[in-house]
Amino acid sequence: MSELPLTRNVRPDRSPTDLAAYEANGGYQGLRRAMAGMSPADCLEVVKDSNLRGRGGAGFPTGMKWSFVPMENVSPGHKYLICNADEMEPGTFKDRMLLECDPHQLIEGMILAAYTIGADVAYIFIRAEYLKAARLLREAIAEAKIRNYLGHDILGSGYSLAMHVHASAGRYICGEETALISSLEGKRANPRAKPPFPQVSGLWGRPTIVNNVETLCNIPHIIERGPEWFASLGRGDDAGTKLFGVSGRVNNPGCWEMPMGTTIREILEDKAGGMVAGYGLKGFLPGGGSTDFLVEEHLDLPMEYETIGKAGSRMGTGTMIVLDDKTCPVGFVKNLIEFFAQESCGFCTPCRDGLPWNAQVLDDIEEGRGTPEDLDTLEQHISYIGAIGNTHCALAPGAMEPLQSALKYFREDFQRHIDGGACPYREAH
């Protein structure tokens, strides 16, 4: 079995790893290595070469993102690193494991990332409900300060970094990096138009990098072990390992670290134990609530950014939601759209007023009040709301992904609702 660096400190009982245990298991070696002789440019080169891609959902190459931060001729003032720990994507619970089981791994990764981009202040923007994780992080930060991994003149390198934990006030949209920044500034959590990108004008108008928890947790290992080692962890084109999760009517729902390129079937059958007896697989969202449905024919695809993209969906957070054959796909999609409509920040028209409209149409269909024209309305909204650029940020296009693919794969179910004037799945229960 190949190496699984991210979860090597995760214990079966999920108890947290403290500083001593973290260090005993090789922790802070990456940081020591960097502080002892690597320049920020060296670190950037290593991360670039590692081909690490963002684990928050979009899969943007991390090294490239960092390289946009101005390092010279930058006007005096702070630069910021923000860890996006606002894990609120429906069906997603992977960062929670990293936060609760191994907080120092994240902190080490953040110190290295901050060092690379020249940030002197770092924030962990954490989901409000992750109370335990927030407490553990605060404790871990205090521990790290005592050992001079954080604070002034880290390990005698001359580099200093302050780190703070900020609990979100609780909006899904804060997971969008610019909305997160607005929220952190104390403003409405509205996303910002890009350009300018946060790398040049982010928190308080200063250069800022926002990275996902899992992304940052990879950094200490990459710095310590090098890009070739990291690339070798993946099975296919994508480097490293990934936390994959499964929820739904499977025998063993959960979250596991596996190599990039592991097939969906392996995740669903080997780890999640297959479908619960009496339930068949109808489809699944491969990367959280805002990704397109895939179906049985896709089971042997490897979980890789490009492959999943070509199949018509996105790898997203890598945490699957399984739709079984006894659950109404219309109700399933309606539930998701209602969530996203509720979580719209209310800034742009298609998202704010379009998503609730779709939820209303889906409610009509689900409750047997649907008309044939309703399918046209849904189709029209898919092109209206569903394209990036039509809306201010990616929330609404993401929200429409399950709907558009449900209409593609399960259109017959929608039609049966309309023709029969009732939800056909209700009788089955």
Partner 1 sequence: MPVIKVDGKDYEVAEGGNLLESCLGLGLDLPYFCWHPAMGSIGACRQCAVVQYQNEEDTRGRIVMACMTPVTDGAIFDLSGERASGFRQTVVESLMVDHPHDCPVCAEGGECHLQDMTVMTGHRDRHYRGTKKTYRNQYLGPLIHHEMNRCITCYRCTRFYRDYAGGTDLAALAAHDHVYFGRHREGTLESPFAGNLVEVCPTGVFTDKSLVHDYTRKWDLQSAPSVCTSCGVGCNTLPGERYGRLKRIHNRYNPAVNGYFLCDRGRFGGTHVNAESRIDFPAQRDSEGRFQALTDEACARALRDRLQGKRLAGIGSPRAGAEANLLLQRLVGAENYASGMADDEHALMQRALAHLVNSTAHNPSLREIESADAVLLLGEDLTHTAARTALALRQAVRNEAHRLAEELRLAPWQDAAIRNLAQDRRSPLHVVCAGSTDLDDIAAGHYRLVAADQARLASDIAAIIRGEARSDGAAARIAADLLAAERPLVLSGPGAGSAALLDGAAAIAEALVAAGKAAMLSFTAAECNSMGQALLCRDSHIALAALASTDAEVLIILENDLLRRLPMASVEALRARIPTWIGIDCLENDTLARCDLVLPAAAFTETEATYINQEGRAQRAFPTHPPAEARRPAWRWLLDLARAAGDRTLSGIGHFDDIGVTLAGEDPLLQGIASAAPDHSFRSRGLKIPRQPHRYSGRTAMRADVSVHEPRQTDDADSALAFSMEGSATTDRPGALLSYVWSPGWNSNQSLHKFQSEIGGALRGEGSGLRLLDSLAVAAATPAPLPEAFSRREQEWLLQARHHLFGSDELSRLGSGIEALTGRAAIYLHPEDASRLGLEAGDGAVIAGAALEVRLDPSQVPGSAGFSTGYPETLALRSGEWVNIDVASDWQRQPELIGSDRGAAS
- Residue ranges that bind partner 1, judged by CB under 8 A: 75, 171, 182, 185, 188, 192-193, 195-196, 200-201, 204-205, 341-350, 352-357, 360, 364, 373, 377, 380-381, 384, 387, 389-392
Of the pair 53, 79, the CB lying nearest partner 1 is at 79
Closest C-alpha among 239, 237, 308, 279 to residue 46? 239
Separation between Cα atoms, residue 14 and residue 143, nearest integer Å: 20
Which among 170, 243, 223, 198 is positioned nearest to 82, based on CA atoms?
A: 198
Residues facing 163 on adjacent strands? 122
Nearer to partner 1, 39 or 371 (CB): 371
Structural element, H or E, at residue 159: none
Residue 343 Cβ vs partner 1, minimum distance, rounded to whole Å: 7
Nearest approach, Cβ of residue 404 and partner 1 (Å): 16
User: Which DSSP helix (H) or strand (E) runs through 225?
Assistant: helix 213-225
* Cβ(242)–Cβ(267) below 8 Å: no
Q: How far is the CB of 411 from partner 1 (least distance, A)?
A: 20
Using the minimum distance from each CB to partner 1, give the nearer residue, 151 or 368: 368
Instruction: Answer yes or no: are the C-beta atoms of 203 and 185 closer than 8 Å.
Output: yes
Name the residue nearer to partner 1 (CB basis): 19 or 345: 345
DSSP state letter for 75? P
Extract the runs of DSSP E, i.e. beta strands, from 34-100: 80-85
State how far the Cα of 389 lies from the Cα of 343, in Å rounded to an integer. Answer: 19
Q: Compute the least distance from the CB of residue 28 to partner 1, in Å.
A: 35
Q: Between 20 and 193, whose beta carbon lies closer to partner 1?
A: 193
The nearest distance, CB 118 to partner 1, in angstroms, is 18
Q: In terms of CB distance, is 29 or 377 closer to partner 1?
A: 377
**315, 401 in Cβ contact below 8 A?**
no
Residue 148: CB minimum distance to partner 1, A: 32
For residue 239, the minimal CB distance to partner 1 (Å) is 31
| CA–CA gap between residue 220 and residue 43 (Å, rounded) | 10
Nearer to partner 1, 264 or 341 (CB): 341
State how far the alpha carbon of 24 is from the alpha carbons of 19, 154, 191, 254, in Å.
8, 20, 41, 28
